[in-house]
Chains A and B, each alone.
Chain A
Amino acid sequence: MYNSIVLVKQVPDTANISGKVMKDDGTVNRSMLPAIFNFEDVVALELALQVKDKFGGKVTAITMGPPRASDILRECLYMGADEVYLISDRKFAGADTLATSYVLSETIKYIGKFDFVFGGRQAIDGDTAQVGPQTAEKLGIPQVTYVEKILDVKAGKAKIRKKIEGGYEIVESKLPVLLTVVKEAVDPRPFKAKKVMRYKNAKSLTDLEKITEGNSLLYIDKLVFEYKERNLFIPTLTMDDLKLDAERCGVKGSPTKVYKVESVVLAGGSHIKVEANKDGIGTLIDNLLEDHILG
């Protein structure tokens, strides 16, 4: 039996950005961007679930994010996670990877005993691949990055295949260990219809507060109690809940600062149009031969 904690992130869908999403001043209109479950984190969750399928144990998914990140926690439940936590606080805003890994590592300590921490190799908004290793460092546990496969787990050790340039390594790590997973590792399982039906109404405190807004007949404490009874309450952990040092959270705890941001301006260069026929291409090749680019 092994317990896993999975680090997941909700990210803007940076692969599908249309012109409208960038404002004229070059800043991003985040509210317009569809938010998705970072794919490498989904793969990480799948590996955790496979460990659970094979050996038993509990899978807990956690995310540090704004209130709407509860969306991906629901998806974790649809896939089969046993427990989820939303780590959310205004004071976490603007966190770089150092501040984020501080919050995540403290949350993991708060949750309790674990054998594995899984995370996707990197998120598609920051693309740094830093949070995994930095979280491992703060927990004082070994890390294996670029994980492709878990080959075996026994006697307190995990045998793992990881990617390296031009090949792979097979390593053996004592538990607990943190693994960052590449997207090629495995195809994640689809949501189970039963679990979707069950958990689509799972809600966090903020989700419930939205329901009570403007409806004075609903009382928030009653709602929270009801959802807890039905096992549909997504717990939120704040800076105070975790007893964190404010100086190490959010912008305050981030040594890296964004000095400026510029939208990429396409260098409007002039190019020579070449007709896609024998003459056009023939002339092009003549030019290239003359300039000694070819030949």
Chain B
Amino acid sequence: MKCRVCTGPAVIDVRRHNANFCAEHFIAHCQEQVRRTIDHFSMMKPDDKVLVAVSGGKDSLALWDILSELGYQADGLYLGLGIGEYSNESTHYSRDFAERVEGHLVEIDLPTDVGFDIPTGARLARRAPCSACGLSKRHLFNQAALEGGYDVVCTGHNLDDEAAVLLGNVLRWNVDYLGRQHPVLEARPGFARKVKPLVRLAEREMAAYCVLRGIDYQVEECPMSAGNRHIGYKEALDAIEAGSPGTKAAFFHEFLDKASHLFTPESDAIRDELLECATCGSPTTGEVCAFCRLIERASNKGTSGSVAIEMGQTRS
């Protein structure tokens, strides 16, 4: 196979683009895809203060790398989940990468700073681990962005992530979630602006990008995610993609172009009804927000207001 740009030996074939790339031009391709995505969706301005949600995995580290290469001033935010050796390794990869890009890595440790780890907290709260983890990430990333004065939070959700979520929402016709599924979630009172610059790049491309850029990342799957529904959706979509390259991209991006707007009013109505959490002040549909209820149940103790986050830790 030959690189479609320079005709040199290719290192990767991307079937949905019917294209092969050498290392140099694949890296350029990924960076260009992100640049175009940011422009197309007006995700952020060159001088924005950017916070990248970092997990130590391929997507978030690749995103931080690409944003740095594109000239954005981005800090990282890492959330320690307390999942044994998996979390220890994820911390290591995140800190190493922060050093590499001489970036500022803000760290929150769930067991130390909030009072529970994901395995124990999920069990005590009787939630699926992935549910407790996702809820914690959304709440703490949002809180850190607001308190840190960031203009935008960037997450490493890629094309596969978004296609899998879309499939799950369609299968169950979760119309409020469909209305909210967009690469840009605008800032609202109590909510930081959130964007997903990797939605044009597949999971396989992000792994390849990291290998070619020499970025070490957490390759092992989270031990808590066995049997996770979204992974099943990804496998189903990959099976379709293997026989019909481009289906995943068409599924998600055609949804954005042709159907997303149909569900927005339903989602807006829910947003208009939000109240302030009696404990932490975050927007919520009930008296106490889901994260504060999780803290209360997961740590077997009452909530004591907003979680204080140490924003000053720099690992560089």
Partners in one complex: no
Q: Give the A-binding residues of B (Cβ under 8 A).
A: none
